[in-house]
């Protein structure tokens, strides 16, 4: 089922085409798009959060390889020149944001395709076509995974429940339905009525700007709250379920997600509210034993002191701005994937499903 809303990302044209993104920094007031016709524009879009959300970053990076390779003359270049340019594109994209594992997973898939084609003696022009096909495949697979996550997750929700979500794990963060929001959208498709509470998500307000917008687009009853109101709203009995997305999940089930997620999990535990994480299987990083190994992106202090262009703190104040935190597995009731629901969350249950 394709949504009638504008697509977060789309490829326009053939191998000489380009990537079109919804500029998420302009939402919710303006729906504008960005044309990415070179490597630099894709890297920039990822760094400044014009495209964000782990799955969407991975898809954008795959397409970024395709536009990045367009600078070479595929009829004149040597195999070595092609490989050097490909490696340059991979390096630039890999350095754009460190926490979301989908970025590295997508880049690895693109490199694997190129390596296989080269070993088969294929020409650069043929490799370029294969790489675009792989990027489109990654994009299509994500769409399918999001719908499957929603279907599994919707079984955990009852009609009339209050659901709290944090940051944005909807269609804007993926190819279409999202991860955490896919659960809500799928429940709605099944005729369930929910009351969704959305954390504004300081300091960049992805909840306020993006999640509320997506829920409004779908006519889901939505209430926006400040991050520091969640405990009070829980204590009032308004919330029966918490659902978030994830940017990287370690082998033991520790989850890195937008800063503020860990605090919500602690609050949910205290109030005996189930805490669910929705993410595709490619968000798991089984090379990391625990969440302690997940790199946490540090962002500019200006996001805190000069939020959206307005100064709200004294000059020269020290800031600390981690973009993510890690929620320990023992605070997570279940992880919802496209392959099924992992519960209880442990190294063994994760290994069994994946």
Catalytic center residues: 247
Q: What is the CA radius of gyration of the chain?
A: 20
Burial class, 316, CB count within 10 angstroms (exposed 0-12 / middle 13-18 / buried 19+) = exposed
Residue (of 98, 126, 96) closest to 114 by Cα position:
126
DSSP conformational letter for 333:
S
Q: Hey, how many other C-beta atoms are within 10 angstroms of the C-beta on 190?
A: 13
Task: Give the integer Cα–Cα distance in Å for 248 and 253.
Answer: 10
Instruction: List the alpha helices (DSSP H) in 69-123.
Output: 79-94, 101-119
Angle separating helix axes 101-119 and 54-68, nearest 10 degrees: 40
> In which residue are the tokens 């294969």 written?
130
Question: How far is CA 279 from its chain centroid?
Answer: 9
Place of tokens 């799955």: 55
Instruction: Indicate if the alpha-carbon torsion angle 331, 337, 342, 346 is positive or negative.
Output: negative
* CA-wise closest residue to 61 among 88, 93, 35: 93
Contact 151, 117 (CB under 8 A): no
Structure tokens at 5: 């809303």
Parallel/antiparallel/unpaired status of strands 255-258 and 248-250: antiparallel
Residues 6 or more apart whose CB falls under 8 angstroms from that of 140 comprise: 175
């Amino acid at each position: 089922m394709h949504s009638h809303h504008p697509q977060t990302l789309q490829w326009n044209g053939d191998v000489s085409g380009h990537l079109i993104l919804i500029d998420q920094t302009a939402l919710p007031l303006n729906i504008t798009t960005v044309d990415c016709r070179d490597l630099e524009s894709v890297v920039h879009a990822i760094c400044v959060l014009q495209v964000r959300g782990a799955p969407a970053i991975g898809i954008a990076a795959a397409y970024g390889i395709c536009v990045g390779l367009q600078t070479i003359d595929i009829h004149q270049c040597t195999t070595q020149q092609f490989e050097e340019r490909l490696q340059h594109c991979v390096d630039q994209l890999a350095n754009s944001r460190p926490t979301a594992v989908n970025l590295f997973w997508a880049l690895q898939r693109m490199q694997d395709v190129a390596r296989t084609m080269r070993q088969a003696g294929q020409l650069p022009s043929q490799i370029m076509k294969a790489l675009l096909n792989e990027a489109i495949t990654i994009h299509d697979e994500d769409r399918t995974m999001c719908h499957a996550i929603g279907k599994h997750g919707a079984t955990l929700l009852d009609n009339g429940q209050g659901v709290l979500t944090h940051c944005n794990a909807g269609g804007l963060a993926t190819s279409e339905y999202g991860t955490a929001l896919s659960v809500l959208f799928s429940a709605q498709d099944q005729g369930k009525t929910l009351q969704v509470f959305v954390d504004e998500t300081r300091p960049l307000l992805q909840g306020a700007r993006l999640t509320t917008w997506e829920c409004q687009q779908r006519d889901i009853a939505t209430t926006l709250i400040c991050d520091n109101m969640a405990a009070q709203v829980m204590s009032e009995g308004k919330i029966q379920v918490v659902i978030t997305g994830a940017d990287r999940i370690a082998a033991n089930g520790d989850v890195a997600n937008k800063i503020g997620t860990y605090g919500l999990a602690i609050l949910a535990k205290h109030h005996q509210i189930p805490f669910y994480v929705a993410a595709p299987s490619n968000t798991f990083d089984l090379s990391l034993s625990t969440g302690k190994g997940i790199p946490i992106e540090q962002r500019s202090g200006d996001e805190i002191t000069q939020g959206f262009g307005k100064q709200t703190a004294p000059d020269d104040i020290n800031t600390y701005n981690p973009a993510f935190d890690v929620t320990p597995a023992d605070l997570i009731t279940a992880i919802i994937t496209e392959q099924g629901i992992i519960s209880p969350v442990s190294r063994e249950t994760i290994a069994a499903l994946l």
